Amino acid sequence: MSGKVVTVTSGKGGVGKTTVTANIATALAMLGKKVVAIDADIGLRNLDVVMGLENRIVYDLVDVIEGRCRLRQAMIKDKRQPDLYLIPAAQTRDKMAVSPSDMILVCDELRQEMDYIIIDSPAGIERGFRNAIAPADHVLIVTNPEVSAVRDADRIIGLLESEEKGPGRLIINRLKPEMVARGDMLSIDDVLDILAVELIGVIPEDESILISSNRGTPVAMSGLNGSSASQAFRNVAQRIEGQTVPFVDLTPKTGLLNRLNNWFSKS
Amino acid sequence: MNWFERLLGKKEKSGATAKQRLQMVLIHDRADVSPGLLEQIKDDIIEVIAKRLEINPDTVVVNLDNTAQESRLVAEIPLLHSNGRRRAAVQ
Ligand SMILES: Nc1ncnc2c1ncn2[C@@H]1O[C@H](COP(=O)(O)OP(=O)(O)O)[C@@H](O)[C@H]1O
Ligand SMILES: [Mg+2]
């Protein structure tokens, strides 16, 4: 077996990398895949709390790299899924404790047993970013429909090209359909026009994401009240699996004035 | 903007402004050429051309232009006494 390494990155902080990593890892596990999520944000460990596994940490990624434990010992099993694991980041070290070749070694070992290795990368474009993309077979770039996040995504796309990590695929997170409809937010087409990269997911702004993080249960798993973000994450997992899944229509129910507007601007 | 907003004399929507600003800033980011560097290049070009041809420095335009594949520097330098019928374009 040879698992695939998927790195989730963005450049800008706070756009939703950790949320996306937790949910995609969970959604792939729900499809029956063997999945391990790695928190590569050394010193700012977070994926553990988003996945609700913070109380079970004994060893971390740096312990593995520095030989204090075997890889298996650092893999925390998520008991809610048949085959989902987390390798947490070290909390009291910094990015320099890990090198790109360490990451490649760890991932090569994991590929033997796992279908997917999903890596959550830190913000920025320095060492931590290079660590996260070094072993990647696929890269997912997370952005928000917002000027600074899209600008940083463009920079990441450029860096990925120069590292020969392919163009990557884009996740637009925190889209607010009502704001797009009234022209006060970049639309999916605007972002794709600018970045010229393949789209793999659109995640709406959704309160259930915060509620799920509060509880430590990724929304892909809890599916809170038919949350639209939950479905969107599960769709991304299926697309990673190579299935063709239509994008959910996020246009808000239109009132009379909107319909009139649309009708006139089309003609 | 749509017909209705124009009728009301509304401002351009912020989404459209965001897109335009992004397009401008990315042209410079992608080529790694700041607006300041572009100004210097423009001054250099004016100096070189003015040695040989008669031009009005105020009408010279130097811009970056790019697609996802390539960036190019585009200079437009109108020549004096050409009645607007001839223009030299250097690329
Ligand atoms: N689609 C969304 N809707 C609502 N809140 C979101 C969404 N995506 C992320 N968030 C919130 O945004 C914050 C930052 O997300 P996080 O995943 O930690 O970003 P990053 O890892 O890129 O720094 C968190 O509080 C998270 O709950
Ligand atoms: Mg994070």
Beta strands A169-175 and A138-143 are parallel
Q: How far apart are CA A107 and CA A34, in angstroms?
A: 14
Q: Which domains does chain A have, with CATH numbers?
A: 4-265 (3.40.50.300)
Domain boundaries, chain B: 3-90
CA–CA distance, A215 with A22 (Å, rounded to integer):
13
**Distance from Cα A15 to the centre of ligand 1, integer Å:** 6
- Model's pTM, two decimal places? 0.86
Handedness of CA A171, A177, A180, A184 (dihedral sign): negative
Please indicate if any CB of chain A lies within 8 Å of the CB of B28: no
For A58-92, write each residue's pLDDT tens digit. Answer: 999 999 999 999 999 999 999 999 999 999 999 98
Kindly give the distance from the C-alpha atom of residue A90 to the centroid of ligand 2, in angstroms, as a whole number: 14
Distances (CA, A) of B9 to A185, B2, B5: 20, 11, 6
> Which ligand is in closest contact with the Cα of A153?
1
Q: Each residue's pLDDT tens digit in chain A (267 positions)?
A: 699 999 999 999 999 999 999 999 999 999 999 999 999 999 999 999 999 999 999 999 999 999 999 999 999 999 999 999 999 999 988 888 999 999 999 999 999 999 999 999 999 999 999 999 999 999 999 999 999 999 999 999 999 999 999 889 999 999 999 999 999 999 999 999 999 999 999 999 999 999 999 999 999 999 877 889 999 999 999 999 999 999 987 777 666 565 555 555 544
pLDDT attached to residue B31: 86
Does B72 contact chain A (CB < 8 Å)?
no
Token pair recorded at residue A213: 């993080």
B90 pLDDT more than 60: no
Interface predicted TM-score (ipTM) over 0.95: no
Q: Please give the Cα distance from A263 to A259 (Å, whole number).
A: 6
Tens of pLDDT, residues B20-60: 999 989 988 888 888 889 999 999 999 999 999 999 999 99
Q: Which DSSP state fits A164?
A: T
